[in-house]
């Protein structure tokens, strides 16, 4: 199995928008929910949200006002947008299918002026 | 502040047995939602260790076992090995405003 591959900008200034994309290879895309999870340095995991192939998202209530997760089923990709970032959003961001070891490699996103 | 509570750290000697607890409430584990456990080695993405409270994916040694009772779950590791030194995270679901998918704060296991 090929793990998901994720990419996006790693350094942002406060108030900018975080944007990451995750591509799924060689794995069934439909029929599952695909999640974004983040891990601040030295801390635990926090679920950001998820989306299925039909485009139905669920979001963490604490981030809902700033998060958008979209899906492109034709490309087997899904994306994360987080607006108005602050230093508190500095973390390693993962895309994943929960309940499996099918996780992306992680992207360190640092928010600093 | 994580919805599920884990001890921040634990330690054990090689060959020993350790248990990591994951305490929730009536809106998550106590509501009947399953618990999964992940192992995270330094600098890597989490790897699924236990799913559905007590099931091991293919390739996970039977030294690892999971259980659930009431509003809590546990991960037991027997015959502790040096390579088990890692962070361990529990994960479940929640039907309150706390969120939908919830994680524990993670437990750093040190093998002395």
Distance from CA of A7 to the nearest CA of B (A): 15
pLDDT range class, residue B98, cuts 50, 70, 90: low
Let me know how long chain B is.
112
Which percentage of chain B shows pLDDT scores above 90? 93
Report the pLDDT averaged over residues A48-66.
93
Q: Nearest Cβ partner of A94 from B45, B98, B106?
A: B45
Report the pLDDT averaged over residues B80-99.
92
Contact B101 A47 (CB under 8 A): yes
pLDDT of residue B28: 95
Contact B89 A106 (CB under 8 A): no
Which percentage of chain B shows pLDDT scores above 70? 98
pLDDT of residue A85: 98
Residue B6 has pLDDT above 90, yes or no: yes
Q: What is the largest CA-CA distance in chain B?
A: 42
First-last CA distance in chain B? 28
Residue A29 has pLDDT above 90, yes or no: no
Q: What is the mean pLDDT of chain A?
A: 95
Report the pLDDT averaged over residues A92-112.
97
Taking any CB pair shorter than 8 Å as contact, residues of chain A touching chain B are: 3, 35, 37, 43-47, 50, 58, 60-62, 94, 96, 98-101, 103-106
Task: Report the Cα B12 to chain-centroid distance in Å.
Answer: 16
Distance from CA of B47 to the nearest CA of A (A): 5
pLDDT range class, residue A64, cuts 50, 70, 90: very high
Contacts of B97 in chain A (CB under 8 A): 61
pLDDT range class, residue A1, cuts 50, 70, 90: confident
Report the pLDDT averaged over residues A28-43.
93
Determine contact, residues B81/B111, Cβ cutoff 8 Å: yes
DSSP letter at B56 equals P
Compute how many other C-beta atoms are within 10 angstroms of the C-beta atom of residue B56: 18
Report the pLDDT averaged over residues B56-61.
96
Measured distance CA(B24)–CA(B29) in Å, rounded: 6
Determine contact, residues B20/B75, Cβ cutoff 8 Å: yes
Task: Report the Cα B43 to chain-centroid distance in Å.
Answer: 18
pLDDT range class, residue B1, cuts 50, 70, 90: confident
DSSP letter at B31 equals G
């Amino acid at each position: 199995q090929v793990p998901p591959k994720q990419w996006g900008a790693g350094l942002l200034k406060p108030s900018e928008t975080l944007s990451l994309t995750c591509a799924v290879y060689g794995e069934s895309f439909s029929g599952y929910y695909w999640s974004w999870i983040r891990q601040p340095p030295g801390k635990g995991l926090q679920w950001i949200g998820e989306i299925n192939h039909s485009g139905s998202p669920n979001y963490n209530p604490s981030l809902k006002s700033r998060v958008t997760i979209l899906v492109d089923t034709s490309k087997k990709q899904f994306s994360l947008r987080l607006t108005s970032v602050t230093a508190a959003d500095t973390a390693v961001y993962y895309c994943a299918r929960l309940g499996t070891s099918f996780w992306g490699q992680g992207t360190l996103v640092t928010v600093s002026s | 502040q994580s919805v599920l509570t884990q001890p921040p750290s634990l330690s054990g000697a090689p060959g020993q047995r350790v248990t990591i607890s994951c305490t929730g409430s009536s809106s998550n584990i106590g509501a009947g939602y399953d618990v999964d456990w992940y192992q995270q080695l330094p600098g890597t993405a989490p790897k699924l260790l236990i799913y559905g409270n007590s099931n091991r994916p293919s390739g996970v040694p039977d030294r690892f076992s999971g259980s659930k009772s009431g509003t809590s779950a546990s991960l037991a590791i027997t015959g502790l090995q040096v390579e088990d030194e890692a962070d361990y995270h529990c994960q479940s679901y929640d039907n309150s405003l706390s969120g939908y998918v919830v994680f524990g704060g993670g437990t750093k296991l040190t093998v002395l």
